[in-house]
Structure 1
Amino acid sequence: MTAHRFLFAIALFVAACSSRTERNNTATDSPKTTAIASDIGYYQLDGDSVVIPRVTIALQLSPKAEAKLKADKETVIVAAFFSGTPKDTTSQEFLESGEVGVKDQKIELTTARVATFENLKFARKDYDALADKDIRLLVNVYSGRRSSPDNLLDCGIVEGPMSDLRGKRLPITGKLIYGDD
């Protein structure tokens, strides 16, 4: 190999190494720019956020409840509350409820009876502050209160750890609070 080719090969190698280091620093400096999510348990990391696994709620209402909602042009709210046990158990929220909320999300349904909670995120710092990394899910269902100031529905709930509920289609049944025996 001639000296000229040798110097060219060295220069090319140094340029390639410099380019790679620059790309890596850019990805580290701005984690949001990376398209690669990493896993922590059954969660995924997206920059400084933790992505909660998908959960689908399948609502089955009684025929009377369906008829009332349709006649009144009423909606249904499916509300999901994600919470956990913190390392620091002195917070007011923990003292009042025995847990701390990490994410809440509501889905309003008009005629559909399936609500899918997906791509929900909460702060990594909140995840790191949890003593138990298996967050809990509580799902409540109620009427949208468009036709009445009061809730019209009496529905079951879904409650449990995300390790058991993640990725599943979970049923909730319901009926009218009054007149649906």
Structure 2
Amino acid sequence: MVLVATAVPALAEGGDPCAGIDTNLTDKRAREYAHLIVDAFSKDLKPSERFKPSDVEVGSFLESDEWSAVSASIPTADMAMFFFQEVGGKKQFKDVWGGIAEASEAPQLIKWAEDLGAPRNLATCFADQVTFDDSADSPFGFTVDLTFSTKAEERLTALHEEVVVSASYYGDPSEKGKEFVDDVGRFDLGTETVQVPASPGIAEISGNQVGESDLEWIEGRPNVNVNVFTARISGDDNLISCDFIDGPLDDVIQSMPVALHCTLIEEEVDAELKP
């Protein structure tokens, strides 16, 4: 299972899909679930990949009766939803769901959670947390046209490998944002990641990671950096070198779909800055 960042909630119109759910993420709960996630995952990793509770970032909390779920990221994967059931006074890890889904897929997500044993209200709230409204147009979305060298496509197909398109939004900080810049003096607006087949085609970045209200933290319009790499289904290493994007988002939108060509790293083809 591939764990990637969750999307903007948009399950249904009217009513609160999380009504009756305890969503109060306290510091105590964050620490508790960080330890639970380490106990469930770290011990099965290679020694070089094992992690500590301090490496776990818990983003949200859901609880109904003896069932609970938290969205969290670990060093080896991005944000995902981890499910637990309390049995005999102890919380037991049940399963993890990672990814983003369209609002139309909410019924399947609810069924998945209920099949685990989670109550209906928790399953419904979970589905709301990890779906986005595919009918909503974002002014920050764009598309890229992925192509592959013959060698790259043949190798990735043989390995049943997929690719990840990662779009990181950023900008020069406004006065309000200067206190929160990263190591290179930029204000980070967030990253959206999508996973697609390793074959020629269009990959869509929704832009839902960024909202109009976020622009108050930067001067002018956002920039975006886009990188493409293998999803590491077949192994621990990235296998491809791809063209990349780094610059004004408006230029990317005007040029879409932006062509990004990928080759095997061993082909030693220089990647190009686009658009």
TM-score by length of 1: 0.64
Decide whether the 8 Å contact of 1:75 with 1:146 is kept in 2: yes
| Structure 1 residues not aligned, in runs of 5+ | 1-31, 34-49
Aligned to 1:159: 246
Q: What do the CA deviations read for 1:112-152 (whole angstroms, capped 9, x no partner)?
A: 532111251434442112122x1001110000001010000
Q: What do the CA deviations read for 1:17-52 (whole angstroms, capped 9, x no partner)?
A: xxxxxxxxxxxxxxx99xxxxxxxxxxxxxxxx943
Aligned to 1:41: none
Question: Matched residues in 2 for 1:51 and 1:58: separation?
Answer: 19
Could you list the runs of 4 or more consecutive aligned residues of structure 1 that deviate by over 4 angstroms after TM superposition? none
Question: Matched residues in 1 for 2:164 and 2:197: separation?
Answer: 9
Question: Matched residues in 1 for 2:210 and 2:140: separation?
Answer: 12
| Structure 2 residues not aligned, in runs of 5+ | 1-12, 15-136, 270-275
Aligned to 1:122: 210
Task: Report the AA paired with residue 265 of structure 2.
Answer: I
Larger Rg: 1
Question: Matched residues in 1 for 2:140 and 2:262: separation?
Answer: 25
| Structure with higher RCO (Cα < 8 A, 6+ apart) | 1
**Compared CA separation, residues 60 and 150, structure 1 to 2 (3 A):** same
Question: Matched residues in 1 for 2:231 and 2:240: separation?
Answer: 10
Decide whether the 8 Å contact of 1:143 with 1:152 is kept in 2: yes
TM-score by length of 2: 0.43
Alignment partner of 1:86: what SS?
coil
> Which of 225, 229, 234 is 1:147 aligned to?
234
